[in-house]
Structure 1
Amino acid sequence: MLNVDTIKNGLVIDHIKAGCGPQIFHWLGLDKASFTSALIMNVPSKKAERKDIIKIDNIINIDFSVLGFVDPNICVNIIKDEKIVRKIRMELPDRVENVIKCKNPRCITMTEHYVPQVFILADRKKATYRCEYCDAFYTAGKIE
């Protein structure tokens, strides 16, 4: 039987699309953290067939736009004294910076490394973004 202790003060990142948990876990640097954290994968879900969950026994700063980019269905629960005090629901951000890299070899971001990688939401329904500089398209869902 799986037993993951209660979070006293921290975060629970819930409703992560099954299989995307490790990507977020590593992006947050939790694999190198000195505090307790847990990645639980393929948990049965009522909304989706399966989901991943990340429990963090610490309050850390998170760029919520990145979480929304990876999966706009994610919910972040803030825990204080073992109780949920706030729920933050994600959505696709209008803009992401330095989350994905433009694949266009002619894009200025490929040659001028000081230029930030900026993508603007082009189509919310299709979850597509376009490079601010060269208009190359990228589909949301994977951070680099």
Structure 2
Amino acid sequence: MLEITSLKDGIVIDHIKSGLGIKIFNLLSLDELSEEVALILNAKSSSQGRKDIVKIAGNLDINLDAVAIIDPNATINFIKNEEVVEKKTLDLPKETRGILKCQNPTCITTSERNIESKFILIDRKEKMYKCAYCDHIYDVEE
């Protein structure tokens, strides 16, 4: 059995749907951090069967909206001296900036470098966003 040690100080993104941990890891660019990062895939879970977990050492400011877009059911635990000092549940953000990229090749955000992408939530249940510039529909599940 794989032993996962506790975290002294940092952030634990828990209850990630199995298979989505790597997407969160990549979207947050955790490979670029100098702090220790643990990506645990397919961990046993009594409530989910299997889940992914991301542990990040240190007190970082992570983009919770980015995590919520990938898995709004994930939970965020802030750890201090090996104790959970705060626990956050997530919800899909009503608006995102700079997280999603418009897939419409004629959108201004794909042709102009200095324009940050902006998406507006149009269907919470289906996790669908609309580009604020060209109205292209973005399905997070795809």
| TM-score, with structure 1 as normaliser | 0.90
Aligned-CA RMSD value = 1.6
Residues 82/34 of structure 1: CA separation in 2 closer, same or farther (3 Å cut): same
Q: Deviations over 1:41-74 (max 9, x none)?
A: 1012233231100112211111111111111001
> 2:20 is matched with which residue?
20
Structure 1: where are the runs of 5+ without partners? none
Residues 116/30 of structure 1: CA separation in 2 closer, same or farther (3 Å cut): closer
**1:141 to partner: Cα distance:** 4.7
**1:131 to partner: Cα distance:** 0.4
Q: Deviations over 1:66-104 (max 9, x none)?
A: 111111001010011111110011110001111121111
Partner of 2:25, secondary structure, is helix
Partner of 1:65, secondary structure, is helix
Cα distance in 1, alignment partners of residues 78 and 93 from structure 2 = 20
What amino acid sits opposite 1:27 in the alignment? L
Cα distance in 1, alignment partners of residues 2 and 105 from structure 2 = 47
**1:30 to partner: Cα distance:** 2.9
> 2:96 is matched with which residue?
96
Identity in percent: 43
Q: Would you say how many aligned residue pairs link Structure 1 and Structure 2?
A: 142
> 1:77 is matched with which residue?
77
> 1:133 is matched with which residue?
133
Q: Deviations over 1:17-40 (max 9, x none)?
A: 111112222333332433222111
Q: Deviations over 1:80-129 (max 9, x none)?
A: 11111100111100011111211112222222222211110001111100
- Residues 108-117 or 85-94, more deviating: 108-117
> 2:112 is matched with which residue?
112
Structure 2: where are the runs of 5+ without partners? none
Residues 7/125 of structure 1: CA separation in 2 closer, same or farther (3 Å cut): same
What amino acid sits opposite 1:38 in the alignment? A
Residues 46/101 of structure 1: CA separation in 2 closer, same or farther (3 Å cut): same
